[in-house]
Chain A
Amino acid sequence: MNTVSDGLPQSPPPSPPGIQHHPAPLIERNSAITEPAWVRWSLILVALLFLLGFLLLPLVTVFVEALRNGWSAYLAALTEPDALAAIRLTLLTAAIAVTANLIFGLAAAWAIAKFEFRGKSLLITLIDLPFSVSPVVAGLIYILIFGAHGWAGPWLMDHGIKVAFAVPGIVLATIFVTFPFIARELIPLMQEQGTEYEQAALSLGASGWQTFWHVTLPNIRWGLLYGVLLCNARAMGEFGAVSVISGHIRGQTNTMPLHVEILYNEYQFSAAFAVASLLALLALLTLGVKAWLEWRHADQLAATRRH
Protein backbone atom coordinates (compact mmCIF):
# COMPACT_ATOMS: atom_id res chain seq x y z
CA MET A 1 0.00 0.00 0.00
CA ASN A 2 1.33 3.43 -0.87
CA THR A 3 1.57 6.18 1.64
CA VAL A 4 0.38 9.69 0.91
CA SER A 5 3.89 11.00 0.58
CA ASP A 6 5.27 8.46 -1.79
CA GLY A 7 2.61 9.33 -4.25
CA LEU A 8 1.33 7.26 -7.06
CA PRO A 9 0.68 3.60 -7.44
CA GLN A 10 3.26 1.84 -9.53
CA SER A 11 2.08 1.50 -13.07
CA PRO A 12 1.74 -1.91 -14.65
CA PRO A 13 4.10 -2.57 -17.56
CA PRO A 14 2.86 -0.96 -20.75
CA SER A 15 0.69 -3.16 -22.88
CA PRO A 16 1.88 -3.81 -26.41
CA PRO A 17 0.69 -0.98 -28.58
CA GLY A 18 -2.08 -1.52 -31.03
CA ILE A 19 -3.73 -4.45 -29.30
CA GLN A 20 -6.07 -2.68 -26.93
CA HIS A 21 -8.42 -0.17 -28.42
CA HIS A 22 -9.30 1.47 -25.12
CA PRO A 23 -6.43 0.68 -22.81
CA ALA A 24 -7.11 1.54 -19.20
CA PRO A 25 -5.11 4.58 -18.20
CA LEU A 26 -1.84 3.39 -16.71
CA ILE A 27 -2.15 5.90 -13.94
CA GLU A 28 -5.33 7.46 -12.70
CA ARG A 29 -6.28 10.66 -14.50
CA ASN A 30 -5.05 13.86 -12.88
CA SER A 31 -2.84 11.77 -10.70
CA ALA A 32 -0.71 14.79 -9.99
CA ILE A 33 -3.51 16.19 -7.91
CA THR A 34 -5.33 13.33 -6.29
CA GLU A 35 -4.73 10.92 -3.46
CA PRO A 36 -4.24 7.16 -3.53
CA ALA A 37 -7.51 5.23 -3.57
CA TRP A 38 -7.23 3.99 0.01
CA VAL A 39 -6.86 7.56 1.28
CA ARG A 40 -9.84 8.66 -0.79
CA TRP A 41 -12.07 5.88 0.50
CA SER A 42 -10.98 6.36 4.10
CA LEU A 43 -11.87 10.04 3.93
CA ILE A 44 -15.21 9.27 2.29
CA LEU A 45 -15.93 6.71 5.01
CA VAL A 46 -15.09 9.14 7.82
CA ALA A 47 -17.25 11.84 6.25
CA LEU A 48 -20.21 9.55 5.76
CA LEU A 49 -19.96 8.09 9.26
CA PHE A 50 -19.97 11.60 10.67
CA LEU A 51 -23.02 12.52 8.60
CA LEU A 52 -24.70 9.28 9.58
CA GLY A 53 -24.22 9.81 13.32
CA PHE A 54 -25.05 13.48 13.42
CA LEU A 55 -27.63 13.94 10.69
CA LEU A 56 -29.10 10.81 9.19
CA LEU A 57 -29.71 8.73 12.31
CA PRO A 58 -31.47 11.56 14.21
CA LEU A 59 -33.76 11.96 11.22
CA VAL A 60 -34.53 8.25 11.06
CA THR A 61 -35.07 8.17 14.83
CA VAL A 62 -37.91 10.69 14.53
CA PHE A 63 -39.92 8.41 12.25
CA VAL A 64 -39.09 5.21 14.10
CA GLU A 65 -40.10 6.68 17.45
CA ALA A 66 -43.22 8.22 15.95
CA LEU A 67 -44.44 4.84 14.72
CA ARG A 68 -43.35 2.89 17.80
CA ASN A 69 -46.94 2.45 19.00
CA GLY A 70 -48.37 1.77 15.59
CA TRP A 71 -50.22 3.72 12.94
CA SER A 72 -53.41 4.26 14.87
CA ALA A 73 -51.61 5.84 17.82
CA TYR A 74 -49.68 7.94 15.32
CA LEU A 75 -52.81 9.22 13.63
CA ALA A 76 -54.54 9.76 16.96
CA ALA A 77 -51.68 11.96 18.14
CA LEU A 78 -51.95 14.06 15.00
CA THR A 79 -55.73 14.47 15.01
CA GLU A 80 -56.08 15.31 18.67
CA PRO A 81 -57.64 18.81 19.03
CA ASP A 82 -54.60 20.42 20.67
CA ALA A 83 -52.38 19.06 17.90
CA LEU A 84 -54.71 20.40 15.24
CA ALA A 85 -54.78 23.77 16.93
CA ALA A 86 -50.99 23.80 17.01
CA ILE A 87 -50.85 22.94 13.31
CA ARG A 88 -53.30 25.73 12.49
CA LEU A 89 -51.37 28.28 14.53
CA THR A 90 -48.08 27.22 12.96
CA LEU A 91 -49.49 27.60 9.45
CA LEU A 92 -50.98 30.99 10.27
CA THR A 93 -47.78 32.26 11.89
CA ALA A 94 -45.62 31.08 9.02
CA ALA A 95 -47.97 32.60 6.43
CA ILE A 96 -47.85 36.02 8.07
CA ALA A 97 -44.13 35.95 8.83
CA VAL A 98 -43.16 34.81 5.34
CA THR A 99 -45.37 37.42 3.67
CA ALA A 100 -44.04 40.22 5.86
CA ASN A 101 -40.43 39.24 5.26
CA LEU A 102 -41.08 38.73 1.56
CA ILE A 103 -42.26 42.30 1.15
CA PHE A 104 -39.36 43.52 3.23
CA GLY A 105 -36.89 41.37 1.32
CA LEU A 106 -38.02 42.73 -2.04
CA ALA A 107 -37.91 46.33 -0.83
CA ALA A 108 -34.51 45.94 0.80
CA ALA A 109 -33.02 44.11 -2.19
CA TRP A 110 -34.36 46.73 -4.59
CA ALA A 111 -32.92 49.62 -2.58
CA ILE A 112 -29.58 47.93 -1.97
CA ALA A 113 -29.01 46.26 -5.33
CA LYS A 114 -30.23 48.94 -7.69
CA PHE A 115 -28.84 52.05 -6.03
CA GLU A 116 -25.59 53.31 -4.62
CA PHE A 117 -25.69 55.05 -1.27
CA ARG A 118 -23.46 55.54 1.72
CA GLY A 119 -23.93 53.21 4.65
CA LYS A 120 -24.98 50.35 2.40
CA SER A 121 -22.69 47.76 3.92
CA LEU A 122 -23.77 48.82 7.39
CA LEU A 123 -27.38 48.31 6.33
CA ILE A 124 -26.59 44.82 5.02
CA THR A 125 -24.88 43.98 8.31
CA LEU A 126 -27.90 45.22 10.27
CA ILE A 127 -30.23 43.09 8.15
CA ASP A 128 -28.09 40.07 9.07
CA LEU A 129 -28.20 40.98 12.74
CA PRO A 130 -31.08 38.67 13.78
CA PHE A 131 -29.02 35.67 12.68
CA SER A 132 -26.50 36.34 15.39
CA VAL A 133 -29.04 36.96 18.14
CA SER A 134 -30.02 33.99 20.24
CA PRO A 135 -33.67 33.06 19.62
CA VAL A 136 -34.29 33.25 23.34
CA VAL A 137 -33.01 36.82 23.39
CA ALA A 138 -35.27 37.52 20.41
CA GLY A 139 -38.23 36.42 22.51
CA LEU A 140 -37.00 38.40 25.48
CA ILE A 141 -36.80 41.72 23.65
CA TYR A 142 -40.50 41.56 22.86
CA ILE A 143 -41.37 40.57 26.43
CA LEU A 144 -39.50 43.64 27.62
CA ILE A 145 -41.69 45.78 25.37
CA PHE A 146 -45.03 44.02 25.36
CA GLY A 147 -44.92 42.05 28.62
CA ALA A 148 -47.07 42.89 31.63
CA HIS A 149 -44.13 44.85 33.05
CA GLY A 150 -42.92 46.10 29.69
CA TRP A 151 -42.95 49.60 28.22
CA ALA A 152 -45.89 49.23 25.88
CA GLY A 153 -47.55 46.15 27.36
CA PRO A 154 -49.74 47.72 30.06
CA TRP A 155 -50.95 50.51 27.77
CA LEU A 156 -51.84 48.08 24.99
CA MET A 157 -53.58 45.76 27.40
CA ASP A 158 -55.69 48.64 28.67
CA HIS A 159 -56.86 49.04 25.10
CA GLY A 160 -57.61 45.34 24.77
CA ILE A 161 -54.58 44.39 22.71
CA LYS A 162 -52.54 41.47 23.94
CA VAL A 163 -49.17 40.89 22.29
CA ALA A 164 -47.01 38.91 24.69
CA PHE A 165 -48.35 35.44 25.52
CA ALA A 166 -50.65 35.76 22.51
CA VAL A 167 -50.60 35.17 18.77
CA PRO A 168 -49.25 38.65 17.79
CA GLY A 169 -46.21 38.05 19.98
CA ILE A 170 -45.60 34.67 18.39
CA VAL A 171 -45.82 36.22 14.93
CA LEU A 172 -43.49 39.08 15.89
CA ALA A 173 -40.87 36.74 17.34
CA THR A 174 -41.10 34.53 14.25
CA ILE A 175 -40.67 37.52 11.97
CA PHE A 176 -37.59 38.52 13.93
CA VAL A 177 -35.81 35.19 13.68
CA THR A 178 -36.63 34.75 9.98
CA PHE A 179 -36.00 38.41 9.19
CA PRO A 180 -32.91 38.11 6.95
CA PHE A 181 -33.73 34.96 4.97
CA ILE A 182 -35.38 36.39 1.88
CA ALA A 183 -33.46 39.66 1.81
CA ARG A 184 -30.07 38.00 1.97
CA GLU A 185 -31.00 35.65 -0.85
CA LEU A 186 -32.27 38.46 -3.07
CA ILE A 187 -29.63 41.12 -2.41
CA PRO A 188 -26.63 39.32 -3.94
CA LEU A 189 -28.80 37.93 -6.72
CA MET A 190 -30.13 41.32 -7.74
CA GLN A 191 -26.70 42.88 -7.36
CA GLU A 192 -25.34 40.29 -9.77
CA GLN A 193 -28.03 41.09 -12.29
CA GLY A 194 -27.30 44.80 -12.25
CA THR A 195 -29.63 47.47 -13.53
CA GLU A 196 -29.36 47.09 -17.29
CA TYR A 197 -32.61 45.18 -17.71
CA GLU A 198 -34.52 47.76 -15.71
CA GLN A 199 -32.94 50.60 -17.63
CA ALA A 200 -33.85 48.90 -20.88
CA ALA A 201 -37.47 48.48 -19.77
CA LEU A 202 -37.71 52.06 -18.59
CA SER A 203 -36.21 53.34 -21.83
CA LEU A 204 -38.94 51.44 -23.66
CA GLY A 205 -41.53 53.36 -21.72
CA ALA A 206 -42.43 50.96 -18.90
CA SER A 207 -43.44 52.42 -15.57
CA GLY A 208 -41.63 51.54 -12.38
CA TRP A 209 -44.21 48.92 -11.38
CA GLN A 210 -44.36 47.43 -14.87
CA THR A 211 -40.60 47.16 -14.87
CA PHE A 212 -40.67 45.39 -11.54
CA TRP A 213 -43.46 42.98 -12.50
CA HIS A 214 -42.41 42.15 -16.03
CA VAL A 215 -38.63 42.44 -15.91
CA THR A 216 -37.21 42.17 -12.40
CA LEU A 217 -39.53 39.62 -10.87
CA PRO A 218 -39.24 36.97 -13.61
CA ASN A 219 -35.47 37.21 -13.28
CA ILE A 220 -35.45 36.56 -9.57
CA ARG A 221 -38.39 34.23 -9.14
CA TRP A 222 -36.38 31.10 -8.37
CA GLY A 223 -34.14 32.93 -5.96
CA LEU A 224 -37.26 34.33 -4.37
CA LEU A 225 -38.75 30.86 -4.03
CA TYR A 226 -35.51 29.66 -2.50
CA GLY A 227 -35.59 32.41 0.11
CA VAL A 228 -39.29 31.80 0.83
CA LEU A 229 -38.60 28.09 1.25
CA LEU A 230 -35.87 28.58 3.84
CA CYS A 231 -37.80 31.36 5.56
CA ASN A 232 -40.85 29.13 5.80
CA ALA A 233 -38.89 26.17 7.19
CA ARG A 234 -37.45 28.30 9.93
CA ALA A 235 -40.78 30.05 10.61
CA MET A 236 -42.65 26.78 11.07
CA GLY A 237 -39.89 25.29 13.16
CA GLU A 238 -38.92 28.21 15.37
CA PHE A 239 -38.79 27.15 18.97
CA GLY A 240 -36.68 29.29 21.27
CA ALA A 241 -38.10 32.72 20.51
CA VAL A 242 -41.66 31.48 20.37
CA SER A 243 -41.19 29.47 23.53
CA VAL A 244 -40.29 32.63 25.46
CA ILE A 245 -43.16 34.75 24.24
CA SER A 246 -45.97 32.25 23.81
CA GLY A 247 -46.86 31.44 27.39
CA HIS A 248 -47.48 27.82 26.32
CA ILE A 249 -51.25 28.01 26.47
CA ARG A 250 -52.54 24.76 25.04
CA GLY A 251 -54.91 25.08 22.12
CA GLN A 252 -54.31 28.82 21.96
CA THR A 253 -50.67 29.86 21.82
CA ASN A 254 -49.10 26.54 21.07
CA THR A 255 -47.23 26.06 17.83
CA MET A 256 -46.17 22.63 16.61
CA PRO A 257 -42.62 22.77 18.05
CA LEU A 258 -44.04 23.92 21.40
CA HIS A 259 -46.59 21.15 21.29
CA VAL A 260 -43.75 18.67 20.73
CA GLU A 261 -42.03 20.00 23.82
CA ILE A 262 -45.14 19.77 25.99
CA LEU A 263 -45.87 16.20 24.94
CA TYR A 264 -42.23 15.25 25.43
CA ASN A 265 -42.10 16.73 28.91
CA GLU A 266 -45.28 14.81 29.75
CA TYR A 267 -43.49 11.60 28.69
CA GLN A 268 -45.88 11.10 25.75
CA PHE A 269 -42.90 10.26 23.61
CA SER A 270 -44.64 8.68 20.63
CA ALA A 271 -47.11 11.51 20.41
CA ALA A 272 -44.26 14.02 20.62
CA PHE A 273 -42.39 12.22 17.87
CA ALA A 274 -45.57 11.93 15.81
CA VAL A 275 -45.97 15.72 15.71
CA ALA A 276 -42.21 16.02 15.24
CA SER A 277 -42.42 13.69 12.26
CA LEU A 278 -44.69 16.16 10.49
CA LEU A 279 -42.06 18.84 10.99
CA ALA A 280 -39.38 16.41 9.83
CA LEU A 281 -41.40 15.73 6.69
CA LEU A 282 -41.57 19.46 6.13
CA ALA A 283 -37.79 19.60 6.51
CA LEU A 284 -37.35 16.79 3.98
CA LEU A 285 -39.66 18.53 1.56
CA THR A 286 -37.72 21.74 2.03
CA LEU A 287 -34.42 19.96 1.38
CA GLY A 288 -35.87 18.25 -1.68
CA VAL A 289 -37.17 21.43 -3.26
CA LYS A 290 -33.98 23.22 -2.28
CA ALA A 291 -31.82 20.57 -3.96
CA TRP A 292 -34.05 20.72 -7.02
CA LEU A 293 -33.75 24.50 -7.19
CA GLU A 294 -30.00 24.32 -6.81
CA TRP A 295 -29.78 21.72 -9.53
CA ARG A 296 -32.28 23.16 -11.97
CA HIS A 297 -32.08 26.90 -11.40
CA ALA A 298 -28.59 27.41 -10.04
CA ASP A 299 -28.15 30.37 -12.36
CA GLN A 300 -30.96 32.21 -10.63
CA LEU A 301 -29.76 31.67 -7.10
CA ALA A 302 -27.36 33.95 -5.34
CA ALA A 303 -23.76 32.99 -5.83
CA THR A 304 -22.85 33.04 -2.17
CA ARG A 305 -24.97 30.96 0.11
CA ARG A 306 -24.98 30.95 3.87
CA HIS A 307 -27.90 30.74 6.19
Chain B
Amino acid sequence: MSPTVFAQGHTPRIARTSARRSVIPGFGLTLGYTLLYLSLIVLIPLAGVFYKSAGLGLEGIWAIISTPRVLAALKLSFGAALIGATINAVFGTLIAWVFVRYTFPGKRFFDAIIDLPFALPTAVAGIALTALYAGNGWIGQYLEPLGIKVAYTPLGVIVACTFIGLPFVVRTVQPVLQDAEQELEEAAASLGANRWQTITRVILPTVLPAVLTGYALAFARAVGEYGSVIFIAGNLPMVSEIAPLLIIIKLEEFDYAGATAVATAMLILSFFLLLVINALQAWARRRHGGKP
Protein backbone atom coordinates (compact mmCIF):
# COMPACT_ATOMS: atom_id res chain seq x y z
CA MET B 1 0.00 0.00 0.00
CA SER B 2 1.46 3.28 -1.05
CA PRO B 3 1.56 6.41 1.05
CA THR B 4 -1.32 8.69 0.28
CA VAL B 5 -0.98 11.77 -1.80
CA PHE B 6 -1.93 14.06 1.05
CA ALA B 7 0.69 12.59 3.30
CA GLN B 8 3.40 14.09 1.10
CA GLY B 9 2.48 17.58 2.25
CA HIS B 10 3.92 19.77 4.95
CA THR B 11 3.14 17.53 7.85
CA PRO B 12 5.40 17.00 10.81
CA ARG B 13 7.89 14.28 10.05
CA ILE B 14 7.09 12.09 13.04
CA ALA B 15 3.46 12.01 12.20
CA ARG B 16 3.97 11.18 8.56
CA THR B 17 6.28 8.26 9.15
CA SER B 18 3.89 6.40 11.40
CA ALA B 19 0.79 7.07 9.33
CA ARG B 20 2.40 5.88 6.15
CA ARG B 21 0.79 2.48 6.09
CA SER B 22 -2.78 3.73 6.20
CA VAL B 23 -4.82 3.52 3.01
CA ILE B 24 -7.16 6.28 4.13
CA PRO B 25 -6.43 9.64 2.54
CA GLY B 26 -6.40 13.07 4.10
CA PHE B 27 -3.94 12.62 6.94
CA GLY B 28 -1.63 15.47 5.97
CA LEU B 29 -4.45 17.85 5.15
CA THR B 30 -6.48 17.27 8.27
CA LEU B 31 -3.61 17.06 10.73
CA GLY B 32 -1.95 20.07 9.15
CA TYR B 33 -5.13 22.10 9.41
CA THR B 34 -5.72 20.92 12.97
CA LEU B 35 -2.28 21.96 14.10
CA LEU B 36 -2.44 25.28 12.25
CA TYR B 37 -5.84 26.21 13.66
CA LEU B 38 -4.92 25.02 17.15
CA SER B 39 -1.75 27.09 17.05
CA LEU B 40 -3.39 30.24 15.76
CA ILE B 41 -6.44 30.23 18.01
CA VAL B 42 -5.14 28.64 21.18
CA LEU B 43 -1.43 27.99 21.49
CA ILE B 44 0.13 31.19 20.20
CA PRO B 45 -2.25 33.54 22.06
CA LEU B 46 -1.74 31.54 25.26
CA ALA B 47 1.99 31.57 24.77
CA GLY B 48 1.67 35.34 24.49
CA VAL B 49 0.50 35.53 28.09
CA PHE B 50 3.49 33.58 29.28
CA TYR B 51 5.80 35.65 27.12
CA LYS B 52 4.37 38.82 28.58
CA SER B 53 4.60 37.53 32.13
CA ALA B 54 8.14 36.31 31.53
CA GLY B 55 8.92 39.96 30.84
CA LEU B 56 7.76 40.76 34.35
CA GLY B 57 10.07 38.22 35.92
CA LEU B 58 9.16 36.00 38.84
CA GLU B 59 9.64 38.81 41.29
CA GLY B 60 7.48 41.14 39.26
CA ILE B 61 4.67 38.61 39.16
CA TRP B 62 5.01 37.89 42.83
CA ALA B 63 4.95 41.60 43.65
CA ILE B 64 1.60 41.90 41.89
CA ILE B 65 0.09 38.69 43.20
CA SER B 66 1.14 39.28 46.78
CA THR B 67 -0.77 42.52 47.13
CA PRO B 68 -3.58 41.97 49.64
CA ARG B 69 -6.34 42.66 47.14
CA VAL B 70 -5.05 40.12 44.59
CA LEU B 71 -4.38 37.53 47.26
CA ALA B 72 -7.86 37.99 48.67
CA ALA B 73 -9.37 37.60 45.19
CA LEU B 74 -7.35 34.46 44.42
CA LYS B 75 -8.20 33.03 47.82
CA LEU B 76 -11.90 33.66 47.24
CA SER B 77 -11.86 32.22 43.73
CA PHE B 78 -10.07 29.07 44.79
CA GLY B 79 -11.80 28.71 48.13
CA ALA B 80 -15.31 29.13 46.75
CA ALA B 81 -14.53 26.83 43.82
CA LEU B 82 -13.18 24.22 46.19
CA ILE B 83 -16.23 24.38 48.45
CA GLY B 84 -18.60 24.39 45.48
CA ALA B 85 -16.85 21.36 43.96
CA THR B 86 -17.03 19.57 47.31
CA ILE B 87 -20.76 20.23 47.59
CA ASN B 88 -21.12 18.96 44.04
CA ALA B 89 -19.06 15.85 44.71
CA VAL B 90 -21.44 14.91 47.51
CA PHE B 91 -24.75 15.94 46.00
CA GLY B 92 -23.72 15.15 42.42
CA THR B 93 -22.90 11.58 43.41
CA LEU B 94 -26.16 11.33 45.31
CA ILE B 95 -28.11 12.70 42.35
CA ALA B 96 -26.35 10.34 39.95
CA TRP B 97 -27.22 7.45 42.27
CA VAL B 98 -30.86 8.45 42.50
CA PHE B 99 -31.17 8.81 38.74
CA VAL B 100 -29.45 5.51 37.95
CA ARG B 101 -31.02 3.37 40.63
CA TYR B 102 -34.52 4.63 41.31
CA THR B 103 -37.60 5.45 39.32
CA PHE B 104 -39.83 8.34 40.24
CA PRO B 105 -42.23 10.65 38.44
CA GLY B 106 -40.60 13.39 36.38
CA LYS B 107 -37.29 11.56 36.20
CA ARG B 108 -36.74 12.23 32.50
CA PHE B 109 -37.43 15.93 32.91
CA PHE B 110 -35.07 16.33 35.86
CA ASP B 111 -32.42 14.31 34.09
CA ALA B 112 -32.52 16.71 31.16
CA ILE B 113 -32.51 19.75 33.49
CA ILE B 114 -29.21 18.66 35.06
CA ASP B 115 -27.41 19.96 31.99
CA LEU B 116 -28.93 23.42 32.41
CA PRO B 117 -25.66 24.99 33.63
CA PHE B 118 -24.05 23.87 30.36
CA ALA B 119 -26.82 25.33 28.25
CA LEU B 120 -27.87 28.44 30.14
CA PRO B 121 -25.66 31.47 29.42
CA THR B 122 -23.68 32.32 32.52
CA ALA B 123 -24.90 35.91 32.65
CA VAL B 124 -28.49 34.69 32.71
CA ALA B 125 -27.65 32.22 35.45
CA GLY B 126 -25.93 35.01 37.34
CA ILE B 127 -28.87 37.42 37.41
CA ALA B 128 -31.34 34.60 38.07
CA LEU B 129 -29.38 33.28 41.05
CA THR B 130 -29.05 36.82 42.35
CA ALA B 131 -32.79 37.44 42.10
CA LEU B 132 -33.48 34.10 43.79
CA TYR B 133 -31.04 34.42 46.68
CA ALA B 134 -31.37 38.17 47.30
CA GLY B 135 -33.07 39.25 50.50
CA ASN B 136 -36.41 39.60 48.75
CA GLY B 137 -35.95 36.56 46.48
CA TRP B 138 -37.92 33.31 46.66
CA ILE B 139 -35.21 31.52 48.59
CA GLY B 140 -33.40 34.51 50.08
CA GLN B 141 -36.47 35.70 51.97
CA TYR B 142 -36.45 32.51 54.03
CA LEU B 143 -32.69 32.55 54.62
CA GLU B 144 -32.40 36.21 55.59
CA PRO B 145 -34.40 35.88 58.85
CA LEU B 146 -32.09 33.01 59.81
CA GLY B 147 -29.19 35.39 59.51
CA ILE B 148 -27.94 33.78 56.30
CA LYS B 149 -27.11 36.34 53.65
CA VAL B 150 -26.28 34.74 50.32
CA ALA B 151 -26.39 37.40 47.64
CA TYR B 152 -23.54 39.93 47.63
CA THR B 153 -21.42 37.81 50.00
CA PRO B 154 -18.79 35.10 49.53
CA LEU B 155 -21.61 32.62 50.16
CA GLY B 156 -23.17 33.84 46.90
CA VAL B 157 -19.92 33.02 45.10
CA ILE B 158 -20.13 29.49 46.48
CA VAL B 159 -23.73 29.16 45.30
CA ALA B 160 -22.74 30.24 41.79
CA CYS B 161 -19.75 27.86 41.79
CA THR B 162 -22.04 25.01 42.84
CA PHE B 163 -24.53 25.84 40.09
CA ILE B 164 -21.90 25.89 37.38
CA GLY B 165 -20.14 22.68 38.47
CA LEU B 166 -23.04 20.35 39.20
CA PRO B 167 -23.35 18.65 35.80
CA PHE B 168 -19.66 17.80 35.72
CA VAL B 169 -19.94 15.48 38.69
CA VAL B 170 -23.34 14.02 37.78
CA ARG B 171 -22.42 13.34 34.17
CA THR B 172 -19.09 11.78 35.09
CA VAL B 173 -20.47 9.52 37.80
CA GLN B 174 -23.73 8.55 36.09
CA PRO B 175 -22.29 6.32 33.34
CA VAL B 176 -19.92 4.62 35.76
CA LEU B 177 -22.79 3.77 38.10
CA GLN B 178 -24.82 2.67 35.12
CA ASP B 179 -22.11 0.25 34.06
CA ALA B 180 -21.37 -0.99 37.56
CA GLU B 181 -22.31 -4.66 37.58
CA GLN B 182 -25.12 -5.56 39.92
CA GLU B 183 -23.27 -8.80 40.42
CA LEU B 184 -20.67 -6.97 42.50
CA GLU B 185 -23.34 -5.95 44.97
CA GLU B 186 -24.88 -9.41 44.94
CA ALA B 187 -21.45 -10.88 45.57
CA ALA B 188 -20.94 -8.59 48.55
CA ALA B 189 -24.37 -9.50 49.93
CA SER B 190 -23.72 -13.22 49.45
CA LEU B 191 -20.53 -12.83 51.48
CA GLY B 192 -22.58 -11.40 54.33
CA ALA B 193 -22.19 -7.66 53.77
CA ASN B 194 -25.10 -5.48 54.79
CA ARG B 195 -26.29 -2.69 52.52
CA TRP B 196 -24.20 0.01 54.16
CA GLN B 197 -21.04 -2.11 53.94
CA THR B 198 -21.80 -2.89 50.30
CA ILE B 199 -22.19 0.79 49.47
CA THR B 200 -19.14 2.04 51.34
CA ARG B 201 -16.76 -0.81 50.54
CA VAL B 202 -17.83 -1.89 47.08
CA ILE B 203 -19.87 0.76 45.25
CA LEU B 204 -18.19 3.97 46.37
CA PRO B 205 -14.63 2.72 45.74
CA THR B 206 -15.78 1.69 42.27
CA VAL B 207 -17.08 5.16 41.43
CA LEU B 208 -14.41 7.07 43.33
CA PRO B 209 -12.19 7.80 40.30
CA ALA B 210 -15.22 9.19 38.49
CA VAL B 211 -16.20 11.31 41.48
CA LEU B 212 -12.68 12.70 41.71
CA THR B 213 -12.59 13.43 37.99
CA GLY B 214 -15.92 15.22 38.21
CA TYR B 215 -14.67 17.06 41.28
CA ALA B 216 -11.59 18.28 39.44
CA LEU B 217 -13.62 19.28 36.37
CA ALA B 218 -16.16 21.17 38.48
CA PHE B 219 -13.36 22.87 40.37
CA ALA B 220 -11.52 23.86 37.19
CA ARG B 221 -14.66 25.34 35.73
CA ALA B 222 -15.64 27.19 38.89
CA VAL B 223 -12.22 28.77 39.47
CA GLY B 224 -12.34 30.67 36.20
CA GLU B 225 -16.07 31.28 36.22
CA TYR B 226 -17.07 34.89 35.68
CA GLY B 227 -20.57 35.42 34.32
CA SER B 228 -22.63 33.57 36.89
CA VAL B 229 -20.51 34.84 39.78
CA ILE B 230 -20.14 38.59 39.34
CA PHE B 231 -23.81 39.42 39.67
CA ILE B 232 -24.33 37.50 42.92
CA ALA B 233 -20.90 38.29 44.39
CA GLY B 234 -21.38 41.96 45.09
CA ASN B 235 -17.72 42.47 44.12
CA LEU B 236 -16.54 44.16 47.30
CA PRO B 237 -12.74 44.41 47.14
CA MET B 238 -11.09 42.13 49.71
CA VAL B 239 -14.41 40.47 50.51
CA SER B 240 -16.32 39.22 47.51
CA GLU B 241 -14.15 40.15 44.55
CA ILE B 242 -13.10 37.19 42.40
CA ALA B 243 -9.82 36.85 40.52
CA PRO B 244 -11.28 36.99 36.97
CA LEU B 245 -13.02 40.25 37.84
CA LEU B 246 -9.72 41.64 39.07
CA ILE B 247 -8.21 40.88 35.67
CA ILE B 248 -10.94 42.92 34.03
CA ILE B 249 -10.53 45.78 36.50
CA LYS B 250 -6.79 45.87 35.86
CA LEU B 251 -7.39 45.82 32.12
CA GLU B 252 -9.79 48.72 32.38
CA GLU B 253 -7.07 50.60 34.25
CA PHE B 254 -4.71 49.68 31.38
CA ASP B 255 -2.62 47.77 33.92
CA TYR B 256 -1.72 45.03 31.40
CA ALA B 257 1.13 43.76 33.53
CA GLY B 258 -1.12 43.33 36.54
CA ALA B 259 -3.81 41.61 34.50
CA THR B 260 -1.23 39.30 32.94
CA ALA B 261 0.26 38.37 36.30
CA VAL B 262 -3.11 37.36 37.74
CA ALA B 263 -3.98 35.53 34.53
CA THR B 264 -0.68 33.66 34.62
CA ALA B 265 -1.31 32.51 38.16
CA MET B 266 -4.74 31.25 37.11
CA LEU B 267 -3.47 29.59 33.94
CA ILE B 268 -0.73 27.71 35.74
CA LEU B 269 -3.26 26.41 38.18
CA SER B 270 -5.61 25.42 35.38
CA PHE B 271 -2.88 23.49 33.59
CA PHE B 272 -1.98 21.80 36.82
CA LEU B 273 -5.62 20.81 37.21
CA LEU B 274 -5.69 19.49 33.66
CA LEU B 275 -2.73 17.28 34.52
CA VAL B 276 -4.50 16.08 37.63
CA ILE B 277 -7.64 15.27 35.64
CA ASN B 278 -5.66 13.34 33.05
CA ALA B 279 -3.77 11.48 35.76
CA LEU B 280 -7.06 10.61 37.47
CA GLN B 281 -8.50 9.27 34.27
CA ALA B 282 -5.37 7.25 33.57
CA TRP B 283 -5.55 5.90 37.11
CA ALA B 284 -9.20 5.00 36.70
CA ARG B 285 -8.44 3.22 33.43
CA ARG B 286 -5.56 1.30 34.97
CA ARG B 287 -7.54 0.34 38.00
CA HIS B 288 -10.52 -0.83 36.04
CA GLY B 289 -8.48 -1.98 33.10
CA GLY B 290 -8.89 -5.47 31.82
CA LYS B 291 -12.16 -7.29 31.68
CA PRO B 292 -14.06 -8.05 34.87
Contacts and interface: CB of A to CB of B under 8 A. Distances in A.
Touch A–B, Cβ below 8 Å: yes
Contacts, number: 319
Nearest to A264: B127
Interface residues of B, number: 106
Given A43-B94, A119-B15, A176 B113 contact: no
Nearest to B277: A132
A81 interface: no
B142 to A, nearest CB: 11
A307 B167 contact: yes
Interface string B124-147: 110111011000011100000000
Given A279-B120, A305-B171, A244 B19 contact: no
A141 B49 contact: yes
A157 B178 CA distance: 55
A264 B231 contact: yes
B162 interface: yes
Contact of A4 (B22, B132, B196): B196
A108, A132, A280, A287 pick with most chain B CB within 10 angstroms: A132
Contacts of A48: 104, 110
A213 interface: no
Contacts of A307: 115, 118, 167-168, 171
Interface in B207-264: 217, 220-221, 223-227, 231, 243-245, 247-248, 251, 254, 256, 259-260, 263
Contacts of B148: none
Main secondary structure of the interface of B (DSSP, over half): helix
Given A111-B34, A114-B24, A119-B15, A240 B49 contact: no
B30 A132 contact: no
Given A4-B195, A33-B182, A40-B102, A198 B244 contact: no
Interface in B174-229: 175, 182, 185-186, 189-190, 194-196, 198, 217, 220-221, 223-227
Nearest to B263: A137
Interface of A: 4-7, 30, 32-35, 40, 43-44, 46-48, 50-51, 53-59, 61-62, 65, 103-104, 106-108, 110-112, 114-119, 123, 125-137, 140-145, 147, 149, 151, 172, 175-176, 179, 195, 198-199, 202, 208, 211-212, 230, 233-234, 236-240, 243-244, 256-258, 260-261, 264, 269, 272-273, 276, 279-280, 282-284, 286-288, 290-291, 304-307
Given A117-B19, A137-B49, A257-B123, 5 more contacts: A53-B139, A59-B113, A134-B263, A240-B244, A276-B124
Interface of B: 6, 14-15, 18-19, 22-27, 29-31, 33-35, 37-38, 41-43, 45-46, 48-49, 52, 91, 94-95, 97-99, 101-102, 104, 108, 110-125, 127-129, 131-132, 137-139, 159, 162-163, 166-168, 171-172, 175, 182, 185-186, 189-190, 194-196, 198, 217, 220-221, 223-227, 231, 243-245, 247-248, 251, 254, 256, 259-260, 263, 266-267, 270-271, 273-274, 278
